Amino acid sequence: MPTGASAARAGAVTLGAALARHADLLGPVNKAALQALAAFAGGAEAARLRRLVSPDGAAEYKAWHCQSCCLLEVLEEFPGVRPPLGAPELAADAPLPRRCLAVHTL
């Protein structure tokens, strides 16, 4: 039975594995995620993110969302946003769906 540091590593996963299993980095970003990102931004970027999710910014959001729709693109457009790794506010609304494949034989 592992003890100490080896026990801690036994249940550890890599960042890549965690992102692949639990984060939807390329899926559409909803307004709740943008609101959460605003909390990790400063100045003009925070103000723009808050405007995008506000009723006054609905037209701007619609035009913007067609061009910057995934989390990676949002973080690229707002480089000052620095969310902590694993921020639960940025997790997908639902877990990533399992892909069930059937094997057919002839």
33-87 pLDDT tens trace: 889 899 999 999 999 999 999 999 999 988 887 776 788 888 888 999 988 776 6
Q: What is the pLDDT of residue 70?
A: 83
91: pLDDT strictly greater than 60: no
Domain residue spans of the chain: 29-83
Structure tokens at 24: 């939807």
Instruction: Look at residue 41 in the predicted model and tell me its pLDDT.
Output: 92
CA dist 59 and 57 (Å) reads: 6
Which class does domain 29-83 fall in?
Answer: mainly alpha
CA angle 80, 62, 54 (to 5 degrees): 65
3-state secondary structure of 13: coil
pLDDT for residue 75 = 86
The model carries a pTM of 0.63
Q: Which residues pair with residue 60 across a beta bridge? A: none
